[in-house]
Structure formats: C-alpha cells, structure tokens
C-alpha cells in the first residue's frame, strides 16, 4: 500500500530513509529509478504485511523513502530488501548512494556535492561562502526532514567545522 500524495499528512511523523547521490540524476535515470521504486514499494512488506510507503526524488539528487510505521513497522528483512534494490540502482548508475563521506550543499542556487574531506578543507580555507545551505542526511522522520533537511550554514552540522 502506498502513501499517496494526497494522503501524506505533514503532521504524521513517517520514518524517512534518505539516499543521497553524488551527482544529479539524468532525465532517463530519474525516470527508470522512479519506475523501479514504484514497482518495489508496491510490493514492499514486513513479515508478509504490506508497508504503507512512498518516495520522492528531492532536488533531482536525493531519494527519500517514507514509511508509515504507525500502520506497520519496517523490519530488518524489509529494510534489507530496500537496501538491495537501492544497491542495484546505485551499481547501475554509479550514484554513490551508500557513500556517507560526502557533503552536499546549495551554492548560488545550485546543488553541489564534495568529498567530506574536501568540503571541510574548503570551509577551513574560506573557499566556500558561509552563505551556502547544507543538506543533513541524518534525518529519520518526515517532520524533521521537512524542517531540517537543508539549513543555512550557521544552523547546520557544518558550522562546527574548525
């Protein structure tokens, strides 16, 4: 069962799993990824019980999966199944979805991604403006995602880089 767009209630705190790509999706990739995830989520289940779930591609670079765990909890096996389809997508398009050692940010209206070490170096050297917005992939609830997925530099995790 899907969480249809019209049924997503912004006061519900769905579980969120974010898969950040290292680069934007090409149009054809986004279409294929959308089809694969739509097909997968239509049959996604935990212990034989359908999971109420949905996804969206945010900023043409981040795959966000939502699960309504008030209806049915995503179990270890169901999370493993999601991981398997995401690894297949990652391998097919070389997206770096499982590389957590990167930072994504918005500079001059454009989403950019750097290796974490390069991002930190550029911050320390003053090569990146403090006017950037930084993405936080650690969000695990829908409400937190809505309000804190992208933050001004000074309110983000990156502000602690010394």
Q: Are residues 127 and 81 in the same domain?
A: no
CA–CA distances in Å: residue 63 to residues 3, 37, 48, 59, 127: 16, 10, 25, 9, 29
How long is the chain? 162
Do 128 and 70 sit in the same domain of this protein? no
Residue pointed to by tokens 């519900």: 12
Last residue of a domain, one of 69, 93, 117: 93
Which band of pLDDT confidence, cut at 50, 70 and 90, is reported for residue 143? confident
Model confidence at 8: pLDDT above 80? no
pLDDT, position 98: 96
The C-alpha atoms of residue 138 and residue 33 are separated, in whole angstroms, by: 22
> Is residue 111 assigned to a domain?
yes
Q: What is the mean pLDDT of the chain?
A: 90
Tens of pLDDT, residue by residue over 74-106, are 888 999 999 999 999 999 999 999 999 999 999
Are 106 and 130 in contact by the 8 Å Cβ rule? The answer is no
Residue 23 and residue 88 share a domain: yes
Select from 62, 157, 156 the least CA-distant residue to 111.
Answer: 62
Quick one: 55 and 81 in the same domain?
Answer: yes
pLDDT tens by residue, 30-87: 999 999 999 999 999 998 899 999 999 999 999 999 999 888 888 889 999 999 999 9
Residue 60, domain extent: 15-93
């Amino acid at each position: 069962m899907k969480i249809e767009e019209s049924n997503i209630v912004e006061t519900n705190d769905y579980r969120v799993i974010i898969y950040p790509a290292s680069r934007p999706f090409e149009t054809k990739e986004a279409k294929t990824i959308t089809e694969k995830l739509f097909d997968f989520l239509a049959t996604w289940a935990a212990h034989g019980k359908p999971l109420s779930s949905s996804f969206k591609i945010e900023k043409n670079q981040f795959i966000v999966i939502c699960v309504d765990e008030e209806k049915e909890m995503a179990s270890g096996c169901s999370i493993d199944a999601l991981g398997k389809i995401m690894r297949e997508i990652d391998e097919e398009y070389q997206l770096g979805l499982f590389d957590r050692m990167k930072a994504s940010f918005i500079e001059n209206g454009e989403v950019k991604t750097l290796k974490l070490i390069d991002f930190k170096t550029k911050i320390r050297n003053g090569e990146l403006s403090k006017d950037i917005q930084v993405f936080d992939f650690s969000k695990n609830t829908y409400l937190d995602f809505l309000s804190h997925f992208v933050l001004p530099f000074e309110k983000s995790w990156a502000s602690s880089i010394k």
